[in-house]
Amino acid sequence: MESEKNTYVILRLSSLGNVAMLVPIVTQLSQTYPSDEFIVISLKPLEALFYGLKNVRFVEADPEVERRHGLFRLAKQIMSYHPTKVFDVQDDFRTRVVRYFLHWHKIPTSTIHTGRRERRALARTGYEQSTPLKPEVERYADTFRDAGLVPAGAVNVMPVNEQAAAKVKELFGEKKGRWIGIAPFAKHLSNVLPFKTMKDVIAVYAQQPDTRIFLFGAGHVETEMLRQWASLWDNVESVTNQLPLDGELELMRHIDGLLCMDSANQHLAALVSCPTLSIWCGTHTYMGFAAWGKANTQVMSLPVTCRPCSIHGTERCKYRNFACKAFTAEQIVERFNKLLNSK
């Protein structure tokens, strides 16, 4: 007798980096429970992150979910899937409202233990007085384990999306020489290096023979900044607005190394096993947000004792000097060269 198929809904409305960290766990669940269906709901068009997972369906939530009536509609939508269980791996105001509606209709839910209290304590005391907290990927896994679903098995590199790979080849041609990716921006000011520092780093690699540099970013201001930088050198190109997410992932698969901040790019690169040097300024890996698959990701930071000043980043420095960002271009190039030469 064929066993009944279960449908599990996974809520992670934001952000890109956090949804990317969910991919390894969903991949393991997909492999461990191939007869069940997993529906991932997020606010942005991130379906490309779950490419190749046959029993995983991605649903983009209505932007109106930011308002209360939109949350009610989202709950009604979830109920239409007749879920066996709903997993809230975000646990913020929005998902709590959705859970309230679901409980009213007797739909079982499980909620992540975010560790916000421990993270706030770490931000107050600094890393020197603390120990590393549980990685976010493990918090995701625990949410499912507590409900009786055990993510297991090896997580290999995301399968090649042939259509997206063809688009990358069409835009940039066959790979010749060394390809380098640089993603100089992040969501918060405390996580971004001074523009002059990053421009000087780009200039070093732009002057090297047989080297091509791809600049990654998003948003209007970032797009214009990267366009201006790319216009200074023939072998530097901004990929912003040229490729959708699946194309960026396939381009990352081809580059020899990615230099980025503590941003979503490190998590995207981890999915395609791209060697990455991630620079952490105001934040700290002790918070648990380091990229999955540490073998391919290296972290560079300064021993500033006030780090981390916040959980995800901030716009102000209480000492008004952002000492955590006092890197020189020479320091970054030296460390990035070690990553590139270790391949």
Q: What is the pLDDT of residues 216-270, one digit of tens each?
A: 998 888 899 999 999 999 999 999 989 999 999 999 999 999 999 999 999 999 9
Whose tokens are 């560790």? That residue is 115
Other C-beta atoms closer than 10 Å to the C-beta of 45 total 10
> What CA–CA distance (Å, rounded) separates 276 from 309?
24
CB 73 within 8 A of CB 67: no
Q: Which CATH class is domain 7-145?
A: alpha beta
- For the chain, give every residue range classified as CATH 3.40.50.2000: 7-145, 163-341
SS3 content of the chain, % helix, strand, coil (to 5): 45, 15, 40
CB 287 within 8 A of CB 294: no
Alpha helices for 130-175 (secondary structure H) = 136-145, 162-172
> What CA–CA distance (Å, rounded) separates 328 from 306?
20
CB 290 within 8 A of CB 262: no
- CA torsion sign, 309 to 310 to 313 to 315? negative
Taking only the tens place, the pLDDT of each residue in 170-190 is 999 999 999 999 999 999 999
Pair of tokens at residue 30: 């997909």
CB 164 within 8 A of CB 157: no
Residue 1 confidence (pLDDT) = 41
Yes or no: domain 163-341 corresponds to CATH 3.40.50.2000: yes
**Closest alpha carbon to 37 in 60, 8, 78:** 8
Other C-beta atoms closer than 10 Å to the C-beta of 92 total 13
Share of the chain above pLDDT 90, in %: 91
**Closest alpha carbon to 216 in 194, 192, 237, 202:** 237
The reply to whether the predicted model has a pTM over 0.75 is yes
